[in-house]
Structure 1
Amino acid sequence: MVEMLSPLLPVWRPGSHGNFADGVGVVLSETQPGSIVQAAAWHGEEKAVIAAIRTAAGLSLPDGAGGGIATEGKAAFGIAPGKFLLVSDDEGLADSLLQAIPINLGTVTDLSHGRIGLRVAGAKAEWVLAKFFAIDFSLPAFPLGSGIATNHHDIFAHIQRTGADRFDLYIFRSFARSFWTALCHASEEVGYEVR
């Protein structure tokens, strides 16, 4: 296995930054999942693909876009009708899904090489993300496990709430450095820590 270098290395500055008058508002980090995979069902095969995901990945997804589940080490959420983003700490999730989802049910696309996982966590996580995305990030509107596919200018993002005050974002590796720099600037106001 060849270890992939993080595209954030040139702008990665561990430590505390920004305004700490009220403490650390957010913690920013790179999650480095082993697998990032998209599964898409053909029209009418959504329930069969959801069942295949349950079998192959051990994740019970609700039916419908936006619904999701986040556990330690694995997560999945709907990004559009019949389309799901799945993430695992372990490599090989795409191979497992390819075995479980035959071509007559849908498709499986391994995105691991082209995406990066970022985490925004802390009391001000919703505040910082709202600076980028016109989304209601409050817990009632964006419940635990749920996710969304959206964009900030030309930067496409998949976002999932993985904790009460924690969000995981998956963006194109080619935009990682630019988005990370903007995320750090947006976090200065509330004080942030890079881990």
Structure 2
Amino acid sequence: MPQMHTGNSADPGNSDDSNVDDLERLLVEGVTLSQAPADPPASPPLQREDEGEDGDVETRGGDVQGAIGLFAEAAQDMATAGVELGLGRHFACVDYCNQVAEKAAQAVSLLRFGRMSTYDHDLGKLGALVGAPREIQDEMAILTPFHPESFYADTPPEEADGVINAEQASGYLQSARHVLRWARNIVLNP
């Protein structure tokens, strides 16, 4: 039987536990941006500078508040994925992992471009669009098949949990955590 992370580590320096504590603190207390101007700017903050060949528009300023909000949703989905794994609902777990990767990447897109990037449910391509390093793009690509629309095209819903075992779901959970950590370093430390 695979071991599951309970969040109760005897090691106080455990990085997973401290990351969870940091996320919980940020979600409860909020984030204060000391560099934010007291008054809103007179002109819209999102001005087009350059349009890249992939269609993404670079902006001078991103949507910080939107990025933090979407990142918080990704963090909540990460917690839900862990609960679903604990309940033995393996497809629900990996579905949430897919959502974590998408929301985390879109949070980066909001921060960098001022809007969400358009993509076709290929999370690896979304990672490339938002400038994720290759290793993060690979982690995201691993989660691509678990978009419900794609997954249910070949698998009846009543068989979904039987197709993915606990060990596989746990591996997908780790991939989603890597993506979330990457996004956290960008969104919460702009």
Q: TM-score of the superposition, structure 2-length normalised? A: 0.32
Structure with the higher strand share, 1 or 2: 1
Higher-RCO chain (CA-CA 8 Å, sequence separation at least 6): 1
TM-score by length of structure 1 reads 0.31
1 or 2, which has the higher helix percentage? Answer: 2
